[in-house]
Amino acid sequence: MISDGPVAIRKTDLEAAVAAGVIDGVVADRLVAFVETARGAGPSQADEENLRLISSFNDIFVTIGLVLFLGALTYIVSGLGVSASALIIAAASWGLAEVFTRIKRLALPSIVLLVVYSLAAFICIAGWLAPDLGIFAAVNSGGPTLPLAAAGIVTTALVGVHWLRFRVPITIAAGCCALAITAMALAGGFAPELFKAHSGLVTVPLGLAIFGLAMWYDMSDRHRLTRRTDIAFWLHLLAAPMIVHPIVAELTTLGNMTPRDAGLILALFVVLSIVALVADRRALLVSSLIYLGYAAYTLISKADWGSSTYAFAVLMVGAIVLLLSVAWRPLRRLVLELVPGKIRGLVPEPA
């Protein structure tokens, strides 16, 4: 019998119920969202951008064991050939996921196993389709190849099967990454010279498409309560470098950056910061920090501070990150006041 008093059900209880087949994962997500909304889950929780990565030290402990086990297994089977050894690693990752993802529901080990499985699957297929060129045929031959595209398609399908079985949030990003590799390989195969000179014509639209998918997940969970927010986080983390790097490469000369180039990078960082504030996604800024540091170094070097230039550049980047961290909420409130109400209704409310 259940009394009228409060019944505390932890998130781990729901995850265990999903693993045992008592409740469906989608239903569990909806239940969490309903309960939190009914209890008045405010915008402050969404603003924290929570990410389920480590629930206890056991996650770290198991991850260390997985790295040691899979690393040693890779070394042992490496003599069997590229495709065969990668197939064994992929199979081992799947088997370990049956325990640590499906039964134990450990977040960090699940992420590691998915990444290893995806990479091993891609290497296995690419090595089988192009054994003479090697796994990284695109690099060795000077441009992407059709075998690489085929490997991306097959990997996407295999990652999709993994999603149906385990529902690890990063899986969607892994599948998008495989599809992006396919698109880039096809572009490089049909127009190698154009792709080599202007790869951003392909990667930027792909990055924007992935960013759009991430925003779709975010808009479906404005309070950041369900698994969809984790899916969106990894998609944002994938999309950002695909957008930022080609733009920086087109606008600047990275090997010999001028103050003008540094100014363009700073302007790009400001634009990305505004987008990140509106979307309430700090992950969008991570990929631009390296370029920000490079720009800071270029500007500071003009002051001729000698060996301290590198340190001051890093200091500047660190200070900007800390300032954004401290002032995130007031800055976000200020930015959201300047955007149309229709957009404000699609993103998390300001805290």
User: What is the percent of the chain with per-residue pLDDT over 70, rounded to a whole number?
Assistant: 80
Higher pLDDT, 267 or 35: 267
Give the whole-angstrom CA distance, residue 127 versus residue 84: 9
The region of weakest confidence among 135-144, 267-276, 319-328 is 135-144
Assess whether pLDDT exceeds 80 at residue 304.
Answer: no
Phi/psi region, residue 81 (left: phi>0; alpha: psi -120 to 50; beta: rest), is: left
DSSP code of residue 287: T
pLDDT at 138: 46
Mean pLDDT for all residues in the chain = 84
pLDDT at 255: 67
- The gap from C-alpha 4 to its chain's centroid, in whole angstroms, comes to 42
pLDDT at 4: 45
pLDDT at 45: 55
pLDDT tens-digit series, residues 35-94: 655 555 455 455 566 777 887 889 999 999 999 999 999 999 998 988 999 999 999 999
Phi/psi region, residue 280 (left: phi>0; alpha: psi -120 to 50; beta: rest), is: left
SS3 call for 174: helix
pLDDT tens-digit series, residues 99-121: 999 998 899 999 999 999 999 99
What would the mean pLDDT of 200-218 be, rounded to a whole number?
95
Give the whole-angstrom CA distance, residue 225 versus residue 297: 40
Q: Which residues contact 284 (CB under 8 A, 6 or more apart)?
A: 236, 239, 240, 272, 275, 276
CB burial class (10 A; 0-12, 13-18, 19+) of residue 239?
Answer: buried
pLDDT at 140: 45
Q: Long-range contacts of range 10-18, CB-CB < 8 Å, 24 or more positions apart?
A: 12/55, 12/105, 15/105, 16/105
Higher pLDDT, 51 or 156: 156
What would the mean pLDDT of 221-226 be, rounded to a whole number?
85
Decide if 272 contacts 264 (C-beta within 8 A): no
